[in-house]
A and B are shown apart, each in its own frame.
Chain A
């Protein structure tokens, strides 16, 4: 059973546009939600993360929006650039289970110049 559901599977955005990737979870015990960016042949790189006591967190062009009641969170990439073309993964973890992350299935983002 997929603990974290991610959509869309792929996304094509024009340069300068906004990329939006969505994730949903069921387990209300999750309390840490990171987003990772992965380029082909590389390990995932931590982009930004949020805890459920805030509804939004922004770092540069990347923003996480968090809706605790809906059990959903999303990544917004503003002013998308061709260099942002990569696969993005959402993830979730909960304190009692150590640092075990449950990952979404990934979104392949392509930014067209």
Chain B
């Protein structure tokens, strides 16, 4: 069975640019969450989507947005990139929308220069 897949695996962007990260959840899972992991720290929650609706939003600026498609895949968009946005962006897939196990993808390593 395929796990959570994220693309691309690595990305280098220039400050001020826009980036789109993609995630495909485990088959049958309807919830996708996005996390930012800065080197040496634990993941920080950005967004959760369940059945294409936003279920939660972390303490991130409006430059961050996301959406979930009818096939439950998801995109995370970040506008006006800052150097501080450099991090590992993780997608987590869950079968349910609340309080259940979450399975992470390998992440997208974003470097902003």
Contact = CB atoms under 8 A, between A and B. Distances in A.
Whether A associates with B in a native complex is yes
A95 B98 contact: yes
B97 A44 contact: no
Nearest to A36: B104
A105 B41 contact: yes
A38 B36 CA distance: 14
A98 to B, nearest CB: 4
B97 A106 contact: no
B104 A43 contact: yes
B12 to A, nearest CB: 16
A49 B100 CA distance: 10
Nearest to B108: A43
Nearest to B104: A43
Contacts of B105: 43
Interface stretch (B14-22, B43-51, B62-70, B74-82): B43-51
Interface residues of B, number: 32
Interface string A37-49: 0000111111001
B94 interface: yes
B61 interface: no
Interface string A80-97: 000000000101011111
Interface residues of A, number: 28
Given A99-B55, A103-B42, A46 B101 contact: yes
A76 B50 CA distance: 33
Contact of A101 (B31, B45, B109): B45
B101 A49 contact: yes
Interface of A: 6, 31-32, 34, 36, 41-46, 49, 89, 91, 93-106
A-B complex: 9 closest residue pairs judged by Cβ atoms: A103-B42, A43-B104, A98-B55, A95-B99, A98-B56, A100-B56, A43-B106, A100-B45, A43-B107
Given A46-B103, A99-B48, 14 more contacts: A43-B4, A43-B6, A43-B105, A43-B106, A96-B98, A98-B98, A99-B31, A99-B98, A100-B48, A100-B56, A100-B58, A101-B33, A101-B43, A106-B41
